[in-house]
Amino acid sequence: MKSLKHHLHRYSRRARRFVFHSMLHADDPPHRIALGVAIGTFFTFTPFIGVQMVMVVGAAWLLRANKAVGVPLVWISNPATFVPIFYPCYLIGRTVLGWEGVGKEWWKQLTKPPAGFAEATQFYWNRTMEVFSPLMLGCLMVGVPLSIFSYLCTRIIIERYRLRMAMKKPHRPRRRLALVTEQDREIG
């Protein structure tokens, strides 16, 4: 049985390969790639798990960003990482709104909803909004700055990498192409 260290090494190697080939060598200008990363980062911090990939592709299509680099970023937020990502966002939203945290009474109320369809619907709608409103506000407050930061970092990294690669390439004189063209003229 392989060790955890081996699996982590394999995973990090795959992640590096993805970044190297998908982002740095993508056939798009740095702006479009960086915008795709920013869109993916933003939607990672939205609590719409299961629809995030569709949202990234739609937003990338509308903004003419690279779709392929944004989609894998939303895989960061999944049912296993839901709590560590969204609970701090929820707390930030509650703090900004000035709301107190939900206590034991809030949870007890959930176990005893009012009778009647209309009353129960209103009850659960209010409880949902008590959680959803601060969660969305917190997600926006975390997602927007992180997406701007990821755009700037990605664009700088790609531009520097491409410049460095262009400087490393040996200068190839165009004489070789000219010779091929001259030979073609002699044959034809």
The per-residue pLDDT for range 32-49, each reduced to its tens digit, is 999 999 999 999 999 888
Ordered by start, the domain boundaries in the chain are: 4-169
Whole-prediction pTM: 0.73
The per-residue pLDDT for range 139-176, each reduced to its tens digit, is 999 999 999 999 999 999 989 988 888 888 776 655 54
User: Considering only CA atoms, which of 14, 35, 68, 18 is closest in space to residue 154?
Assistant: 35
- How far is 122 from 65, CA to CA, in rounded Å? 41
Give percent of the chain with pLDDT exceeding 70. Answer: 80
First-to-last CA distance in the chain?
A: 66
Q: What one-letter code names the amino acid at 156?
A: I
- How far is 105 from 140, CA to CA, in rounded Å? 28
Crossing angle of the two packed helices 30-44 and 117-168, in degrees rounded to 10 = 150
